[in-house]
Amino acid sequence: MNKNYIVPSEWSIIENGFDADNVEASESLFSIGNGSMGQRANFEEDYSGKTFQGSYIGGIYYPDKTRVGWWKNGYPEYFAKVLNAPNWIGIHIKINGTTFDLNTCKISDFKRELNMKEGWLSRSFTAEIPSGEKVEVTTKRFVSVEINEVGAIEYSVKAVNFSGAIEFAPYVDSGIMNEDTNYDEFFWEILEVIDGDNNACILSKTLKTEFHVATAMQVSFAINNKEVSATKETSKEEKKITHTYKLQVLEGDVATIYKYASYTSSMNYEIADLVEASFLNVEKAANLGFNALLASQIKSWDEIWKTADIVIEGDVKAQQGIRFNIFQLNQTYMGTDARLNIGPKGFTGEKYGGSTYWDTEAYCIPFYMATKDQSVAKNLLKYRYNQLDKAIENAEKLGFTNGAALYPMVTMNGEECHNEWEITFEEIHRNGAMIYGIYNYVNYTQDFAYIPEFGLEVMIAIARFWHQRANYSAAKDKYVILGVTGPNEYENNINNNYYTNYLAKWCIEYTVECLNKVKEDYKEDFDRVIEKANLTAEETYEWLKVSDNMYFPYSEEHNVYLQQDGFLDKELIPTDKLEASQRPINQKWSWDRILRSCYIKQADTLQGMYLFEDRFSKEELERHFDFYEPITVHESSLSPCVHSILAASIDRMPKAYEMYLRTSRLDLDDYNHEVHEGCHITSMAGTWMAVVQGFGGMRVWQDGILAFNPQIPEEWKSYSFTINFRGNTIKVYKSQTECKFFNESENEIKLIVDNKEIILTPSVEVVL
Ligand code: BGC
């Protein structure tokens, strides 16, 4: 059974009633972030029940020594862990001397809300502590988008049935462990614990990577909304600093603590300046005050929603789902820092410890291209360009030569840090996504200049990889690619994975096409790149032999491309014959049983058809969809969105809608029973694509024309979205009866809608 406790609401994620069993799931779902840092929705006060504490800073990682049973040559030395950073939210609270801990209280009227419109998290509840005192608590917390090193908390306690002492003991704690350490090691060294008047700071550094981080706090108090001063007692420990303040209250009084906190890191400052910068941040925040900071937070999110929002009328759960996805994507990555990327769990958990997967290129780029300035997607591409040398080194470690590059499956700094052989060595299709990302960007933005300037070097190195990775099969008189894992990770060490072979062929062809164009139009860049890469025309002819003669497994009987050699030896039993008790199979079955089964984790052959849809006829798409979808278990978050888009494009709206709900509410309804580990951030971009590309039918065809083919699920009254397209803003609205386009820019825009050309004049609504 999937969980279903989130209250439907258009702009908020809401939990009513306290259930200790939901605490860890809610900690993921109610996470907050600002693209630079973020954290799980842990309680500020002590909690002795089950919890997974997590606070993370973009780009700060630890290379945790690889742990495997049996070492294989070529394994990376380490697995990069997104580091659980010092805790700045903590406030120990005592009511008349008794520790306040929800795990020991009688709780009523518990409500937790993540307000996505305004970017804050709150809780309110009444609690009776074991000694009989009753309190009403309200809290609000956010991490500021505007001052992206700062977070703020407002925490109020009303003394309902007593007069006495409420003790607030705010602290900074650097003694935080990652949940997923390989050797149970502590990853931080504490350098300094600094006490101030109403503030404190801890300077710590990560072991090995030596990132330095200063975590500061500053507090103030109010009783019944009037500022009061309080006397503090300091307790300084090796890894923690706590300030304890006792406020005397009368029955009915409300005591409030405001806690401002800041992370500053050596990614942005000289080490010697970190502590001061952190202190300055909290001072600035405290001077502005909670309400002013909150007002600017609301403004920042208002700006984000202007281009990012998708409005769905007539289906609250679908509306909540899409906004949750858009909100989390923005919380994870705002696009302002080219050193950062989009981790599959964002700032909501630690699994998938590395930061960057193929997910970025295959799933996330379209969302950022259409909802933000073009420079954001370019930053994402440049992230890979900057890591080309490491990708070449990575390929060299595996025996490739001549500047061939294999981009990592998981990375923080360009080095591979995934260490399961079937993924590290075999899931090489990821290399194809690197070029696809460039193609997609250039096609969408028409910024072809990116290719001569940066992209071409990446493309040459990847084409070299495919050329070397394929081998000639005399038996088939074709080129084959052996021993791979496709996107479907429920098959390993297979031969001729359709998706991988298709991408390899396409990568070579596209690289050669771009080489020719750059030679024609960007002669200087061409000469520079050719010299740097030491590339000859002869070498490209060798590449083309591989792409021209690539082998693709095909079944005459079913008239479909096969996912891999031998696929038809499997017993093809559709998933609707699988008992519910057996799912998800990755939690119920042995790995051996999974590998032997026909079940597909995520779109694989269909992933290729999705990326290159214009190369397949509708009948072909239908045939392949009907063959593969019934045996797909969608146990990767990246699966339902692709199926939703394909289903819409072959006019299967009920299926498209079913898959849409699954992708958009994957975490909210915990379909895969794992939300407590964190949210699936990268697939959220797929949810956005499911509306815009799926229902909206948006495509940018190779001739550069923007096309739509809007359809609407029966369950909805209407939906609308906005996209940035080459500097223009276009609004699309679709209801059950009409379809409207509005051009918010100053230029005329040509569109193809339902195969007919229309011209959008600025500020004139076109109704179809
Ligand atoms: C998927 C991969 C994906 C990774 C991170 C895995 O479950 O199979 O394709 O890259 O999750 O999202």
Strand partners, 720: 311, 733
Taking the centre of ligand 1 as the mean of its atom positions, its distance from the CA of residue 279, in whole angstroms, is: 39
Q: Which numbered atom of ligand 1 lies nearest the CA of 636?
A: 7
Q: Which numbered atom of ligand 1 lies nearest the CA of 680?
A: 12
Mutate to test the pocket of ligand 1, among 79, 328, 342, 357 (most ligand atoms within 8 A of CB): 357
CA atoms within 13 A on the CB side of 164: 16
Tens digit of each residue's pLDDT (9 = 90 or more) over 478-534: 999 999 999 999 999 999 999 999 999 999 999 999 999 999 999 999 999 999 999
Which residue type does 666 have? L
pLDDT of residue 181: 87
Taking the centre of ligand 1 as the mean of its atom positions, its distance from the CA of residue 638, in whole angstroms, is: 7
- Domain 31-306's class? mainly beta
Cα 75 to the chain's mean position, in Å? 26
- Look at the chain and count its residues: 768
Cβ atoms of 725 and 713 within 8 Å: the answer is no
Tens digit of each residue's pLDDT (9 = 90 or more) over 428-463: 999 999 999 999 999 999 999 999 999 999 999 999
Q: Give the 3-state secondary structure of residue 733.
A: strand
Is 305 annotated among the ligand-binding residues?
no
- Residue among 118, 149, 457, 489 flagged as catalytic: 489
* Tokens encoding 456: 């071409």
Q: Beta strand pairing status for 706-708 and 749-753?
A: parallel
pLDDT of residue 194: 97
Regions in the chain scoring below 50 on pLDDT: 1
Question: Could you tell me the CA-to-CA distances from 575 to 598, 624, 625, 627 in Å, in that order?
Answer: 9, 16, 14, 12
pLDDT of residue 1: 47
Between CA 66 and CA 302 the distance in angstroms is 43
- Name the helix (H) or strand (E) containing 150: strand 150-159
Query: From atom 9 of ligand 1, which residue's Cα is the shortest distance away?
Result: 487
Residues with CB under 6 Å of ligand 1 are 344, 352, 357-359, 487, 489, 601-602, 636, 638, 682
Taking the centre of ligand 1 as the mean of its atom positions, its distance from the CA of residue 44, in whole angstroms, is: 32
Cβ atoms of 409 and 430 within 8 Å: the answer is yes
Between CA 550 and CA 366 the distance in angstroms is 29
Instruction: State the Cα angle at 99 between 98 and 101, rounded to 5°.
Output: 130
Mutate to test the pocket of ligand 1, among 484, 636, 677 (most ligand atoms within 8 A of CB): 636
Buried b (16+ CB within 10 A) or exposed e, 704-724: eebebbbbbbeebebbbbbbb
Tens digit of each residue's pLDDT (9 = 90 or more) over 314-367: 999 999 999 999 999 999 999 988 899 999 999 999 987 768 999 999 999 999
Buried b (16+ CB within 10 A) or exposed e, 648-674: bbbebbebbbebbbbbbbbbbbbbbeb
Cβ atoms of 275 and 265 within 8 Å: the answer is no
pLDDT of residue 2: 53
Mutate to test the pocket of ligand 1, among 352, 434, 642 (most ligand atoms within 8 A of CB): 352
DSSP string, 181-244: -SS----EEEEEEEE-SSEEEEEEEETTT--EEEEEEEEEEEETTEEE---EEEEE-SSEEEEE
Between CA 47 and CA 42 the distance in angstroms is 9
pLDDT of residue 355: 85
DSSP string, 430-442: HHHHHHHHHHHHH
Is 592 annotated among the ligand-binding residues?
no
According to DSSP, residue 45 is labeled S
| For the chain, domain boundaries | 31-306
Taking the centre of ligand 1 as the mean of its atom positions, its distance from the CA of residue 489, in whole angstroms, is: 8
- Tell me whether residue 489 is one of the annotated catalytic residues: yes
Is 569 annotated among the ligand-binding residues?
no
- Left, alpha or beta for 698 (phi > 0: left; psi -120 to 50: alpha)? beta
End-to-end CA distance of the chain: 43
Taking the centre of ligand 1 as the mean of its atom positions, its distance from the CA of residue 674, in whole angstroms, is: 14
Question: Could you tell me the CA-to-CA distances from 395 to 345, 435, 573 in Å, in that order?
Answer: 27, 16, 39
Tokens 């979205």 -> residue: 721
Q: Give the 3-state secondary structure of residue 259.
A: strand
CA atoms within 13 A on the CB side of 682: 22
Query: From atom 6 of ligand 1, which residue's Cα is the shortest distance away?
Result: 636
pLDDT of residue 401: 98
Taking the centre of ligand 1 as the mean of its atom positions, its distance from the CA of residue 171, in whole angstroms, is: 37
Taking the centre of ligand 1 as the mean of its atom positions, its distance from the CA of residue 560, in whole angstroms, is: 25
DSSP string, 649-696: HTT-HHHHHHHHHHHHTTTTTTTTS-GGG----HHHHHHHHIIIIIIS
Q: Which numbered atom of ligand 1 lies nearest the CA of 635?
A: 7
Is 205 annotated among the ligand-binding residues?
no
pLDDT of residue 234: 97
According to DSSP, residue 754 is labeled T
Cα Rg of the chain (Å, integer)? 27
Taking the centre of ligand 1 as the mean of its atom positions, its distance from the CA of residue 447, in whole angstroms, is: 29
Instruction: State the Cα angle at 608 between 605 and 613, rounded to 5°.
Output: 120
pLDDT of residue 703: 76
Considering only CA atoms, which of 680, 711, 705 is closest in space to residue 693?
Answer: 711
- Name the helix (H) or strand (E) containing 125: strand 120-128
CA-CA-CA-CA dihedral for 341, 344, 350, 356, to nearest 10: -40
- Left, alpha or beta for 496 (phi > 0: left; psi -120 to 50: alpha)? left
What's the chain's average pLDDT? 96
Tens digit of each residue's pLDDT (9 = 90 or more) over 163-188: 999 999 999 999 999 988 888 899 99
pTM of the model: 0.96
